[in-house]
Amino acid sequence: MTEDKDGNKRSVGDEPHQYQAGSTTHREEDQWKHRPPYRVHEKGTFDVKWRGKCHCGAIQYELSREKPLASKYCHCTTCQRMHGAPFQWAAIFHKTDINFTSGHHDLGWYDPTSKSTTHHLPCKVQCAYCRSPIMDEGRNMILLFPTLIEGIKTPRGREAFEVQSHMFYPQRVVDIKDGKPKFQGLADESPLVDEDTGEVIPGTEPKKEDK
């Protein structure tokens, strides 16, 4: 048994059912603000390579990496619906590569699997005001949407964020005949499909790693 600050006895791990609005809690759900990608860096301590913002400007962020770890188009049905677009353009970054300079309390979440709006990973992150998609937050990485980034149309932006491949290509609503690798599912974890016929290319199934 432990005693809380009001002197109420309770067993360790026995969580009260309700928290008063405004009360300070140390619940896991409230800890996101202090961890990457939401941890706010002190001025001058973040090496800024790019800046991005939502449509209304409430959400603003900086990136410290010149090139994403990877850049891909995702043609899956969930991305089509969530973005209201033929496909999603996703640039993968470490969670420590981003610094929110404005609006990090104005974010909204959505988990397409459970259809819940609590902060639960993996989830979609939006501006709570204008609803611009900001990123997909995974357990270890974030997927940013390069069209929010200033300078994306410059030669430097086009080069840095150029895509390497397409994912879930059989679910596409438009053909993109750019000669880049097209995966049936996740990149490097599914076979390649032919960009003209949409058929799986025999012999391109990824090898199972030896355990």
β-bridge partners, 141: 94
Name the minimum Å distance from CB 206 to Zn ion. 19
- Take residue 79 and report the two structure tokens written for it: 């991305």
- Take residue 196 and report the two structure tokens written for it: 């003209």
Q: Which is nearer to Zn ion, 96 or 109 (CB)?
A: 109
Binding mask 10-49 for Zn ion (x = CB under 5 A): ----------------------------------------
Q: Verify binding: residue 130, Zn ion, rule CB under 5 A.
A: yes
For residue 208, what are the CA distances in angstroms to 7, 189, 190?
Answer: 56, 9, 11
Choices 58-66, 92-100, 190-198, 202-210 (CB under 5 A): range interacting with Zn ion: 58-66
Cα distance between residue 80 and residue 113, in whole Å? 15
Q: Verify binding: residue 127, Zn ion, rule CB under 5 A.
A: yes
In the chain, alpha helices (H): 77-83, 155-160
Q: Verify binding: residue 79, Zn ion, rule CB under 5 A.
A: yes
Q: Verify binding: residue 76, Zn ion, rule CB under 5 A.
A: yes
How many C-beta neighbours within 10 Å does residue 186 have?
13
List contacts with Zn ion (CB under 5 A). 54, 56, 58, 74, 76, 79, 127, 129-130
